Amino acid sequence: MSKNKILILEDDKTLSQSLQEALEKRGFEVIPAANAEEANALLNEHKVDYIFVDCLLPGMSGDEFVIKLKKDKPDRKFKVILMSGIYTDKSTIQDMLKRTQASAFLKKPFDLDQVFNIVKEKEDNAKKESPRKMLYQIFSKDMVSTREKRKLIESIEEISAYDLPFIYSLLTETKSSGYLNIYFNDGSVSGIAFSNGCIVAVDVEDKSTYIGELLIQSGYVSPTDIQKALQSKNNQRLGQRLISSNLMSPHALDLTMIEQMNVRLSKTISEKTVKLNFSASEVELTQPNIDSELLLNYLHDWIASKLPTNWLKNLYMMWAGHQIIPNAHLKPDHPCMQMSLIQSLDGLLDKLAKKTTLSELLGVPDYNQAALYKALHFLVTKGLIYFSRNISFDNVDEHFDYLTKLKAQIENKSDYEMLEALGLTQYNDAESAASEIETLLGQEPMKKEAKNFGVWYELYNKISTAINSLNPEAKIQLKKAIEKNEAENRIKANQLLDESKKELMLSQFQSALVKLKEAGKLSGTLFQYNIYIAWARLGMNMQKKDKNVIKEIEFDLMQIPADERYDYLYPYVMGLYYKATNDYLNAKKSFDKALAMDNTFLAAKRELSLIEQMMKKTRKNDNLFTMDLKDVVTVLFKKK
């Protein structure tokens, strides 16, 4: 937060100096002036937050000075504090306050505490950053104490479940121990146990993630094995019973338990709103667990697959012009840099090292916007980058460009949508949000003729008016209306998704793709959406095998969440992808897997038969090491 500037207009040098010293000790920047002319000259150079004015000045009186100043500079925002040892009767003071619209009147001699109380009010308002904003800046600190984390989580009244990956990462990176309880609006509660930064248990009320289900889906055991194990009479948990009965290896259980935690954590990440409570406590470090290194892969997966780009756009809108500060750990050999999202953006690390802004990165022509938002969010979540608190621009043109982009982004939004996107819904009056708005817009331009002046004020007024016009009751109503609209759109989108599924089954890829794109516009949270869109794109691209389209498909596949992969469709689409990239061996394996999950799936049968034919054709040139034994024998011993 920038220092508050104060101008003291006082001809009594002793008082002016002592006031200046006291305020400077409190961290304010103070500019003294002995008369109105001097004050006017200084105000042309500086933007101030407060003006302390002595009423009885040589030449123009203090109150006249204030009235004239407000008339001459109507756009400037500052608070006036009048001071006098002569005019001290109640009616005169009231009259002066009314005429000058000053915030306070100090009767001389006054106590410094009175001064500090006046300026403290503004300081407090300035500190009132939204808890969510503070959350996403927590990694800017070198150390985060348990108390700080607890207080921060406590200060968040409600949060989107899309914010949860960040919370998980925060508790992991800061080596937390305790229980994170997540309360959903439907009354259900989920919980995650952390032990020294490792996730040791994930509890969600969801039968589809029971260990038995996952073991069957992973192919480690059959339903009959589960039945057998359940029949054995002992108090062990299912996994242990399977191991005791020699139906499964301990290693398979460990892998599945980790996958269970991954799927369960993934399921907590949704469009729902949640409340959180973190209770620090000693928790035993049990095996298997998810440590920071393993979590890195999951975070990447969740951010790529579960977070809608529009949600990320809204989250980062308030930081678009802020410098991205890289952490000292952000180096080319950091494991994060090898992840697909980062790899898909050429030269991202170099750009981040130069302390760029999101706004600038969005202007890089080769960058896929969705991939950029997700990659940055991944790095923010891992604490490898953070956004600077203050916005700064090298020149007026840069500031103007930023403001113009911001204006375009909020142009078609309603007042509430705009405030939500800018993270300003918690404010009920523009004055208390002033510092937050300035953080968003950058410093108020000093010169009226400057290029950025008009658009700055236009945005400032638009945002201030929106804040003042929406009372808390209206905000609740608008939020409900938005949710209702989203729910209606989701129904329409699901209908389109169903229609496109039928068309995909009939190999009508183009028509399916059009419908899928339409559905994607209506809702960003459709079950298996990316599987279908990849299927449609692969179907259309099977002949041409265009490299750019393959790149797009790879991004679609990256966005398929873990909990959507336990279905015959996922291996089927992966099979199509391998086929398109001429990896017939993996294509065959994938189609086999799809058929193992659903042996009535005709499309997979057809593809499997096609791939087998293709493999036969290419086998002539095949390497002996990758051939089936039967083929090796045939090649080596076939009579010429």
Partner 1 sequence: MSKFELKIDKNADAAKISIAGIIDEDVDFNEYSLSGLKQMELDLNNVKSINSCGIREWIKWLGSNSQAKMTYINCPKIIIDQINMVDGFLPQNGKVQSFYVPYYNDDSGTEKNVLFRHGTEFTESGVKPPEKVVDEAGNAMEMDVIESKYFKFLNKK
Query: Smallest distance, Å, CB 145 to partner 1?
Result: 9
Among the residue ranges 7-15, 178-186, 237-245, 470-478, the one whose residues contact partner 1 (CB under 8 A): 178-186
Side-by-side strand order, sheet with 189-195: 159-160, 273-280, 178-184, 189-195, 198-203
- CB of 449 or CB of 473, closer to partner 1: 473
Residue 286 within binding range of partner 1, rule CB under 8 A: no
Residues 6+ apart with CB under 8 A from 332: 349
At which residue do the structure tokens 């180096």 appear? Answer: 331
Query: Smallest distance, Å, CB 171 to partner 1?
Result: 14
Among the residue ranges 41-49, 84-92, 105-113, 151-159, the one whose residues contact partner 1 (CB under 8 A): 151-159
Q: Taking the C-alpha atoms of 91, 96, 102 and 103 in order, what is their torsion angle to the nearest 10 degrees?
A: -10
Helical segments of 506-563, H only: 509-522, 529-541, 547-558
- 105-136 b/e (C-beta count within 10 Å ≥ 16 → b): bbeeeeeeeebeebbeebbeebeebbbbbebb
Closest CA to 318 of 135, 513, 78, 566: 135
Residue 193 within binding range of partner 1, rule CB under 8 A: yes
Query: Smallest distance, Å, CB 146 to partner 1?
Result: 11
Listing DSSP states for 57-72 in one string gives: -SSS-HHHHHHHHHHH
Q: Can you tell me which of 21, 75, 124, 157 binds partner 1, judged by CB under 8 A?
A: 157
Q: Can you tell me which of 4, 169, 190, 559 binds partner 1, judged by CB under 8 A?
A: 190
Q: What is the largest CA-CA distance in the chain?
A: 122
Among the residue ranges 25-33, 150-158, 356-364, 559-567, the one whose residues contact partner 1 (CB under 8 A): 150-158
CB atoms within 10 A of CB 363: 12
Among the residue ranges 82-90, 272-280, 561-569, 597-605, the one whose residues contact partner 1 (CB under 8 A): 272-280
Residue 583 within binding range of partner 1, rule CB under 8 A: no
Q: Can you tell me which of 148, 203, 225, 592 binds partner 1, judged by CB under 8 A?
A: 203
Query: 194: which strand partners?
Result: 178, 199
- CB of 178 or CB of 239, closer to partner 1: 178
Residue 240 within binding range of partner 1, rule CB under 8 A: no
- CB of 281 or CB of 613, closer to partner 1: 281
Residue 184 within binding range of partner 1, rule CB under 8 A: no
Task: Tell me the Cα Rg of the chain.
Answer: 32
Residue 198 within binding range of partner 1, rule CB under 8 A: no
Closest CA to 45 of 366, 447, 501, 399: 447
Residue 154 within binding range of partner 1, rule CB under 8 A: yes
Query: Smallest distance, Å, CB 282 to partner 1?
Result: 8
Residue 164 within binding range of partner 1, rule CB under 8 A: no
Query: Smallest distance, Å, CB 187 to partner 1?
Result: 6
Listing DSSP states for 117-165 in one string gives: HHHHHHHHHHH---HHHHHTTGGGSS---HHHHHHHHHH-S-EEGGGHH
Residue 187 within binding range of partner 1, rule CB under 8 A: yes
Residue 133 within binding range of partner 1, rule CB under 8 A: no
- CB of 181 or CB of 292, closer to partner 1: 181
Query: Smallest distance, Å, CB 194 to partner 1?
Result: 11
Residue 429 within binding range of partner 1, rule CB under 8 A: no
Q: Can you tell me which of 178, 212, 239, 539 binds partner 1, judged by CB under 8 A?
A: 178
- Judged by CB under 8 A, the number of residues near partner 1 is 20
Q: Cα–Cα distances in Å, from 389 out to 277, 392, 401, 440?
A: 27, 10, 20, 10
Among the residue ranges 273-281, 528-536, 541-549, 601-609, the one whose residues contact partner 1 (CB under 8 A): 273-281
Query: Smallest distance, Å, CB 195 to partner 1?
Result: 12
What is the separation, in whole angstroms, between the first and last Cα of the chain? 84
Instruction: State residue 77 phi and psi, 5-degree precision.
Output: -110, 120
At which residue do the structure tokens 């990256």 appear? Answer: 558
- CB of 45 or CB of 113, closer to partner 1: 113
Given a contact cutoff of 8 angstroms between Cβ atoms, the answer to whether 343 and 382 are in contact is no
Query: Smallest distance, Å, CB 278 to partner 1?
Result: 10
Q: What is the 3-state secondary structure (H, E, C) of 463-483?
A: HHHHHHHCCHHHHHHHHHHHH
Residue 469 within binding range of partner 1, rule CB under 8 A: no
Residue 183 within binding range of partner 1, rule CB under 8 A: yes
Query: Smallest distance, Å, CB 139 to partner 1?
Result: 22
Is the Cα dihedral 570, 572, 573, 578 positive or negative? positive
Residue ranges of E strands in 372-486:
385-391
Residue 124 within binding range of partner 1, rule CB under 8 A: no
Instruction: Tell me the two tokens of residue 621.
Output: 């040139």
Closest CA to 267 of 554, 566, 530, 483: 566
Query: Smallest distance, Å, CB 191 to partner 1?
Result: 3
Residue 599 within binding range of partner 1, rule CB under 8 A: no
Among the residue ranges 276-284, 299-307, 308-316, 558-566, the one whose residues contact partner 1 (CB under 8 A): 276-284
Helical segments of 183-269, H only: 211-217, 223-231, 238-244, 250-268
Q: Can you tell me which of 28, 179, 393, 457 binds partner 1, judged by CB under 8 A?
A: 179
Q: Which of residues 506-535 bind partner 1 (CB under 8 A)?
A: none
At which residue do the structure tokens 């989920």 appear? Answer: 190
**Residues in touch with partner 1 (CB under 8 A):** 151, 154-155, 157, 178-179, 181-183, 187, 189-191, 193, 203, 205, 275, 277, 279, 281
